[in-house]
Amino acid sequence: MKFASLGSGSEGNSLLVSPAAAEQQRRIVMLDCGFSVKEAERRLARLEVLPGEVAGIIVTHEHGDHIRGVFKFARRYDTPVWLSYGTYQAARADSDGVDVRFCRDDEPFQIAGLTVHPYTVPHDAREPLQYCISSERCKLGVLTDVGHKTERILSALAACDALVLEWNHDSDMLANSSYPYSLKQRIAGPHGHLSNAVAEEILREVDRSRLKLVIAAHLSQQNNRAELVEQRMAHVLQGELIAAEIACQHQGFGWKML
């Protein structure tokens, strides 16, 4: 299995996952498309993927940085879209002509030979889901846009070979930022985004028995710094043979083989 990112952060998110030796033409699972179709096409080309190779799009929730290009892309390339019923209710106005399929917490389904396993998270959206994607041999866990740590999150992400994990903000930088009070409250609240401290707790507590790679994602460009995240990841992973990287807004990250 391999995976890559088109970009990660509040200006747009999209992740690609593919079975490593896939023969079929449609061999890519796209997780969110928070970019315009034109921008998504440009970023796909950077990773040498044709839009027609996307077998399905799975959507986490209705916020623009995750859903912006989803339905237009799906219409243009005849791509089915999986999402929760709540996310569909929030975003259905744009979904005409799209092959929409519903998914829910703890009901796995298959796309392009991969098993997609949705799980519920606390975030200020109608029915947000995050996903683990696995092949026979390995498991990728994805977690962004989540306000606090839950037992459900820790159990869903147990024994992954790779994790893409939100490290949104440093709590002091957010508190001292020029953001309006209400926005600070929203981001730091129980249905907002993960602080570095809570992301560190999740990484510390999750079952890392198979983990080889962790990628920090959805970093705030205003309220976080890569060095702070790197320090915290290194603190948890010291003495373990686990690689750590940071996904960026503009480049995402290139293909990682599992």
User: With binding defined as CB under 5 A, does residue 53 bind Zn ion?
Assistant: no
Which stretch, 62-70, 158-166, 201-209, 232-240, contacts Zn ion (CB under 5 A)? 62-70
User: With binding defined as CB under 5 A, does residue 145 bind Zn ion?
Assistant: yes
The CA dihedral of 6, 109, 212, 13, to the nearest 10 degrees, is: 20
Cβ(140)–Cβ(132) below 8 Å:
yes
Which stretch, 51-59, 139-147, 228-236, 238-246, contacts Zn ion (CB under 5 A)? 139-147
Percentage helix, strand, coil for the chain under 3-state DSSP, each rounded to 5? 30, 25, 45
In the complex with Zn ion, which residue's Cβ is closer, 63 or 232?
Answer: 63
In the complex with Zn ion, which residue's Cβ is closer, 63 or 68?
Answer: 63
Residue 250: closest CA among 62, 12, 45: 12
The minimum distance between CB 13 and Zn ion, in angstroms, equals: 6
In the complex with Zn ion, which residue's Cβ is closer, 10 or 134?
Answer: 10
The minimum distance between CB 63 and Zn ion, in angstroms, equals: 4
DSSP 225: -
Amino acid at site 202:
I
User: With binding defined as CB under 5 A, does residue 65 bind Zn ion?
Assistant: yes
In the complex with Zn ion, which residue's Cβ is closer, 124 or 245?
Answer: 124
Which stretch, 23-31, 61-69, 206-214, 238-246, contacts Zn ion (CB under 5 A)? 61-69
User: With binding defined as CB under 5 A, does residue 63 bind Zn ion?
Assistant: yes
Which stretch, 17-25, 39-47, 64-72, 99-107, contacts Zn ion (CB under 5 A)? 64-72
Cβ(37)–Cβ(48) below 8 Å:
no
The minimum distance between CB 7 and Zn ion, in angstroms, equals: 11
Rg (CA), the chain: 17
Q: What does DSSP say about strands 139-143 and 129-134: parallel, antiparallel, or unpaired?
A: antiparallel
Place of tokens 């994607």: 133
CB neighbourhood size of 20 (10 A): 13
In the complex with Zn ion, which residue's Cβ is closer, 11 or 230?
Answer: 11
Backbone angles phi, psi at 166, to 5 degrees: -65, 130
The minimum distance between CB 194 and Zn ion, in angstroms, equals: 11
- Binding residues for Zn ion, rule: CB under 5 A, are 63, 65, 145
